[in-house]
Amino acid sequence: MQVRVVLVSTYELGRQPFGLASPAAWLRRAGHAVTCLDLSREALREEPVRQADFIAFYVPMHTATRLAVELLPTIRGLNPDAHLCFYGLYAPVNESYLRKLGAETILGGEFEDGLMAAVARVGQKDASVPANPQSEPVVSLGPQQFLVPERDGLPPLERYAHLNHPDGNPRIVGYTEASRGCKHLCRHCPIVPVYHGRFRIVRREIVLEDIRRQVEAGAEHITFGDPDFFNGIRHAVGVATAMHAKHPRLTYDVTIKIEHLLKHAEHLRTLRDTGCLFVTSAVEAVDDRVLARLEKGHSVADFVATVELFREIGLTLSPTFVAFTPWTTLESYLELLRRIAELDLIENVSPIQLAIRLLIPAGSRLLELDEVRQMVGGFDDASLAYPWANPDPRVDALSDQIQRLVERTQKNGDPREAVFERIWKLAHREARLPVEAIPQEEVGVARAAIPYLTEPWYC
């Protein structure tokens, strides 16, 4: 029986959501009527929601989950009878809370098979339905045969985040995934509670066909959303090389761990030569003690070596940070700013990265640490996280001030260098220290030469 399905994305970093386009292909092939709603780029269309038999929220990250929860009363008001599903990274770790809100199906990991089975189950109107009807595994990590994502019905690519290109002309950005999950077990990472150190490859021909269709739709740059593009190094290099052969003018960006950038340094020139403009890497901290607690697998010295390597090769590194943790002090925050400046990375770092506060979601491996368990409060359903406070209230006050400052400057479109200077002065004032001159090396390049995406958020 044909089921009317609505797939909903509330937020995905300004990208056209792969997590809607991929299951849409599966469900349409099975004969179901699928509507995709990306509410980060369009208003809620009420009619498809009213008519739906099955409504599924894609929740790949914390912000998306909170926005989906906020939307639930509206969805239930429009259609109180539709089967409600949450799927994606943040669905299984928040299962108990989402079920309290009325979710009937929760799916994580490789969710396409589960969605197919759940929709088929809803379509069996005459079947005997038990009190808790979900028969699909909440988390599935089994291999599956991916289909080429179908992006019909999603807002066009020009409505999403653009690339600020070094030549000064903004570029339309597409988005795809060559793998899911991650082989590493960083304590603070939300992927770990679901994938437990495993990852899955999307076949090369599927990735390339998805890219080809997006290029036809106007994409001039591709963002690879893999948690770590180098988890499967041969697969990654093969995808990049084949993509460049087919689309030699197409540029792209990837995310790779510092550890992998050093381990596979011989492949960085391949990235550069196949059109990679920049690499995002979760550096997180410039304090080896914090990095050890997070089990990041790299040291501050490794970060510095990576910066030097990228400069030598001619690639742009885009570091991200968790600037505020329970172990952050005013002095260590100033050290973070000083390191960024000394390494000539001010223009490489999005200002929001200087305001990010450590999130401890359900299932976090950080809770393995006695010191973390002792410092956090009870799980807060509203924030979908364990609350914590810094031992020094001045650090939390500084965090709040910087978050407000960054929000204001983002709205104004202020340049990164100007925002960094304001944060530098604010941090020194909060520490009651004289404001030093920002250290600068004469190795930098002009702001226009640093490529970056127009969507600044990261979680």
CA distances from 172 to 10, 105, 240, 266 (A): 21, 35, 19, 30
Mean pLDDT, residues 60-75: 96
Per the prediction, the chain carries an average pLDDT of 94
- In this prediction, what percent of the chain has a pLDDT beyond 70? 96
- For position 410, what pLDDT does the model report? 86
pLDDT score, position 443: 44
Beta-carbon count within 10 A of 446 CB: 8
Confidence at residue 376, expressed as pLDDT on a 0 to 100 scale: 97
pLDDT digits (tens, 9 = 90+) for 99-145: 999 999 999 999 999 999 999 999 986 545 544 579 999 999 988 88
What is the spatial distance between Cα 385 and Cα 91, in angstroms, rounded to a whole number?
Answer: 13
Average pLDDT over residues 51-57: 98
| Angle at alpha carbon of residue 14, lines to 165 and 107, rounded to 5° | 140
Is 448's pLDDT higher than 80?
Answer: no
Residue 92 tokens read as 């299984």
For the segment 197-214, the average pLDDT, to the nearest whole number, is 97
Per-residue pLDDT tens over the stretch 307-341: 999 999 999 999 999 999 999 999 999 999 999 99
Mean local confidence (pLDDT), 401-425:
93
Q: How many other C-beta atoms lie within 10 A of the C-beta of residue 269?
A: 12
Contacts of 102 (CB under 8 A, 6+ apart): 72, 76, 84
- Residue 207, pLDDT > 70, answer yes
283 closest CA partner among 323, 249, 314, 247? 323
pLDDT tens-digit readout, 170-189 = 999 999 999 999 999 999 99
Report the alpha-carbon distance of residue 94 to residue 102 in Å, rounded. 13
Residues 303, 256: contact at Cβ < 8 Å?
Answer: no
Burial readout 88-121 (b: 16 or more C-beta within 10 A, e: otherwise): bbbbbbbbebbbeeebbbbbbbbbbbbbbbbbeb
pLDDT digits 0-9 by tens, 240-297: 999 999 999 999 999 999 999 999 999 999 999 999 999 999 999 999 999 999 999 9
Q: State the amino acid at position 143 in one-letter form.
A: P
What average pLDDT does this structure show over 192-196?
A: 95
- Percent of the residues in the chain that have a pLDDT greater than 90, as a whole number: 90
**Which of 282, 272, 267, 229 has the alpha carbon at shortest distance from 251?**
272
Q: Predicted confidence band at 168 (pLDDT cuts at 50, 70, 90)?
A: confident
Least trusted range by pLDDT, from 298-312, 383-397, 431-445: 431-445
Strand 139-140 with 105-109, pairing: parallel
Q: Per-residue confidence at 446, pLDDT binned at 50, 70, 90?
A: very low
